[in-house]
Amino acid sequence: MLKAVILIGGPLKGTRFRPLSLDIPKPLFPVAGLPMIQHHIEACVRVPNLKEILILGYYPSSELSQFVADMVQEYKVNIRYLQEFTALGTAGGLYHFRDQIRSGNPEAFFVLNGDVCADFPLVEMVHFHQGKKASLVTIMATEATRQQSLHYGCIVQDRDTSEVTHYVEKPSTFVSTLINCGVYICSTEIFQTFAAAFNKHQQEYYNDASGNGNGKEAAIIYLETDVLMPLAGTGSLFALQTKNWWSQLKTAGSAIYANRHYLELYRSWHVDRLAQGEFKTEKGKEKKCTIIGDVYIHPSATVDPTAMLGPNVSIGAGAVIGAGVRIRESIVLSGATILDHSLVLYSIVGHGSHVGQWTRVEGTPCDPNPNKPFAKMENPPLFNCDGRLNPSITILGEMP
């Protein structure tokens, strides 16, 4: 039996994702028509013998309860939200809820960071992990450019055995172009390592003669620095390198990039979600418009037959798209209205936003450099060090 844990953090995280995370928890922001972490859940339910999914974070339970109920009803798998009393780090929450994770005696459990998006090779990870009898943790890894690798956890791997012999989190100098994707499969024996890290932090706190220690900080454990780094070179940490698409979802601009790739993945897993020029409304009526490439249209949306959508467009619930509208590489959120003959490119149109007639809304694409092999999505802040606005997608906020 297997389980999965999805780490979603809390409202103090995801500040680079603003303003998109101001009115909705970042993990629930819709990408390709679905809440961000629903893509994680769908990947998990495709794993044979996976019986429970735990969502772990410190958002108020009230903000996740309806989503969890909807997911249980849709996927017929046990899904629970476990709320941390405070931010405990990427491993602190796992250790705090160790009894819930170990309940039912699973042979292993996945850990997925909620702010990554990917074509998750979870079934492959299970087979790989089971083939490494000494493995406590298997890391999903991918290749990055030499320069970009400094922004991730870097892995030095034995090419013959796949063992991780050295691991450094965000090094100051070059270590390796093989990076940590923030997706793991762990044996339950890993909780002994968590306990050792927790006890070490507690001991350091009580030995701090200066009195500057913080009791809450003593409970914080980071998977990357407190667990993976000590395990490297012990024969119990391995990495599975994947060539599947993977990216982080840190900034608003990265949502457009993720939207494109999740729509592409629908061709393999959910082709019924893609509009084909004719799409059904909630009342079952057929409507037509011009579709180019991969496009998702919510059944409750209204799209004029003369509109042209795509490629890589998502239209949310209750949105209204007028005559002659052209939309490309964009996300239109629920309740938005785009009136006749408007153009929307590389943009996110917020909930309830109103775009008037003959309006041009255009942002700057933030894609990885296509001329650099293994280049990853850059996640620059909204403003640079000089206080100037970095080129990015355009975001239209909600109407007051």
Output the DSSP codes for 290-339. Answer: EE-SSEEE-TT-EE-TT-EE-SSEEE-TT-EE-TT-EEESEEE-TT-EE-
pLDDT, residue 209, reads 52
Q: Are strands 278-280 and 246-248 parallel, antiparallel or unpaired?
A: unpaired
User: Both tokens of residue 156?
Assistant: 């030095």
pLDDT tens sequence across 251-296:
888 899 999 999 999 999 899 999 986 655 555 556 678 999 999 9
Q: Which of 206-210, 334-338, 375-379 has the highest mean pLDDT?
A: 334-338
- Cβ atoms 256, 366 nearer than 8 A: yes
Cα dihedral 259/265/269/273 (nearest 10) = 40
Q: Is 282 exposed, middle or buried (0-12, 13-18, 19+ CB in 10 A)?
A: exposed
pLDDT for residue 11 is more than 90: no
8 vs 11: which has the higher pLDDT = 8
Q: Which of 263, 239, 258, 240 is nearest to 377 (CA)?
A: 258
- Cβ atoms 58, 75 nearer than 8 A: no
pLDDT tens sequence across 34-73:
999 999 999 999 999 999 999 999 999 999 999 999 999 9
If one counts every other C-beta atom within 10 angstroms of the C-beta of residue 340, the result is 16
Q: How far apart are CA 165 and CA 264, in angstroms?
A: 35
Distances (CA, A) of 290 to 59, 280, 301: 40, 14, 15
pLDDT, residue 358, reads 97
> Which residues are paired to 383 by β-bridges?
389
109 vs 14: which has the higher pLDDT = 109
What phi, psi does 208 have (nearest 5°)? -75, 100
Q: How confident is the model at residue 213 (pLDDT cuts 50, 70, 90)?
A: low
Q: Who's near 171: CB < 8 A, 6+ residues apart?
A: 150, 154
Helix-helix angle 190-206:89-96, to 10 degrees: 110
Cα dihedral 196/80/53/314 (nearest 10) = -120
Average pLDDT of the residues in 307-323: 96
pLDDT, residue 216, reads 56
pLDDT, residue 224, reads 95
Distances (CA, A) of 273 to 32, 73, 169: 9, 19, 38
> Across the chain, what does the average pLDDT equal?
89
CATH architecture of 2-250: Alpha-Beta Complex (3.90)
The domains spanning 2-250 and 272-366 adopt the same CATH topology: no
User: Both tokens of residue 292?
Assistant: 């180019």
pLDDT, residue 397, reads 66
Average pLDDT of the residues in 319-333: 96
- Cβ atoms 247, 340 nearer than 8 A: no
19 vs 298: which has the higher pLDDT = 298
pLDDT tens sequence across 121-159:
999 999 999 999 889 999 999 999 998 899 999 999 999
Domain boundaries, the chain: 2-250, 272-366
Long-range contacts of 360-367 (CB under 8 A, 24+ apart): 361/394, 361/396, 362/394, 363/253, 363/256, 363/392, 363/393, 363/394, 363/395, 364/391, 364/392, 364/393, 365/256, 365/329, 365/393, 366/251, 366/253, 366/254, 366/256, 366/257, 366/391, 366/392, 366/393, 367/257
pLDDT, residue 274, reads 94
Decide: pTM greater than 0.85. yes
Dihedral sign computed on CA atoms, order 374, 377, 364, 344 = positive
Least confident range of 13-22, 217-226, 289-298, 350-359: 13-22
Domain 272-366 -> CATH class: mainly beta
